[in-house]
Amino acid sequence: MAKTTDISIVRSTGKSKLALFAELAKVRLSLLVVFSAVMAYLLGIEGVINWYNVLWLVAGGFFVTASSNTINQIIEKDLDKLMTRTKNRPLPTGQLTLVEAAIFAGVTGVLGLFILSYFFNTLSGVLGALSLISYAFIYTPSKRLSPVSVFIGAIPGSMPLLIGWTAATEAINVQGIILFGIQFFWQIPHFWSIAWLLNDDYNKAGFKLLPSENGKTRLTALQNIPYLFMLILSGTFPYILGMTGKVSLLISLIAGSYFLFQGVQLSIDTEDKSAKKLMFASFIYLPVVFLAFVIDKI
């Protein structure tokens, strides 16, 4: 009887290596992370803004995030094959090898941490390292263990605010922690709305992301509400602490209330269309509020 061999089929997409590495880095997500760090830096800096430093912060934050995202995909390579959303990524399709991905993760990680430490301060570099390690090696494997993973992931997801703040001030203080808290409370309903919409896909890989074992239920939707209230409350503290003015306070209250409204709507009808509106409300909140903070400060 003839001996058979399993052959892994590599899909050819015509993409360049650069494009494939950009997929590993998740460029759009990385730039969103960098945006948060830059906003915190601009809020923390006193006097004239050195825009060269801003560019170095963009580079350092981007490289650290790219490394985190790549390690995440290395660890989840076989799980990504199971999900429609991720099955065409460079590693599941064999367009990039694990060695290539590991080298990319190593180079970008070391480069990013060097930039944060050398051009800013050791504290920023340490926070960058903690962000990378906690995202790649704690949050990533925890997704198949418990919905608590969402809270674990919210910590490295909020770390860019502290990195940007310490890059400007060389210290972790109340103001920096408040900025961290705003992004932390924002991330919970943001990620649960995505997990709601992609619940079937995540279930294929065994990811436990929604807070209720029964999935897309009213109880699941209701659990967004406390975090939305905490987001609105934390959004008032930059004004209370004298970091920003009344205009940005008003904008944060309006954006937070709209976000809350969408969360309440999902709790009422538990429809996917409402989860999508909640997700889009989260996309609106962060850039609008942080830009308002920075413009009001300047």
For the segment 101-159, what is each residue's pLDDT rounded down to a tens digit? 999 999 999 999 999 999 999 999 999 999 999 999 999 999 999 999 999 999 999 99
Mean pLDDT over all residues of the chain? Answer: 93
Indicate the pTM of the whole model: 0.91
Position 2 pLDDT exceeds 50: no
Predicted confidence (pLDDT) per residue in 29-47, tens digit: 899 889 999 999 999 999 8
* 174 CB-near residues (< 8 Å, 6+ apart): 241
What token pair was written down for 203?
């279930």
Question: Are 163 and 185 in the same domain?
Answer: no
User: Taking 60 as the threshold, does the pLDDT of residue 67 lie above it?
Assistant: yes
Average pLDDT over residues 175-182: 97
Residues 138 and 196 both lie in one domain: no
- Give the pLDDT mean for 273-296: 96
Q: How far is CA 151 from the centre of its chain?
A: 12
Average pLDDT in the 46-69 region? 95
Question: Do residues 73 and 126 both lie within one domain?
Answer: yes
Q: Which pLDDT band, with edges at 50, 70 and 90, does 10 fall under?
A: very low
Boundary residue ending a domain (119, 152, 171): 171
Question: Domain for residue 4, yes or no?
Answer: no
pLDDT higher than 60, residue 270: yes
- Same domain? For 236 and 152 the reply is no
* Pair (155, 27) in one structural domain: yes
Spatial contact of 120 and 56, defined as CB atoms under 8 Å apart: yes
Instruction: Say whether both 190 and 279 belong to one domain.
Output: yes
Provide the 8-state DSSP code for 3.
P
Residue percentage of the chain with pLDDT more than 70: 95
The model's confidence at residue 14, banded by pLDDT at 50, 70 and 90, is low
Rounded to an integer, what distance in angstroms lies between the CA atom of residue 104 and that of residue 81?
A: 21
**C-alpha dihedral sign at 292, 294, 296, 298:** negative
Question: Do 43 and 68 reside in the same domain of the chain?
Answer: yes
Are residues 134 and 46 both part of a single domain? yes
Q: Judge if 254 and 149 occupy the same domain.
A: no
Query: pLDDT tens-digit profile of 18-27?
Result: 999 999 999 9
Nearest residue to 192 (alpha-carbon basis) of 217, 215, 219, 210 = 210
Are 199 and 297 part of one and the same domain?
yes
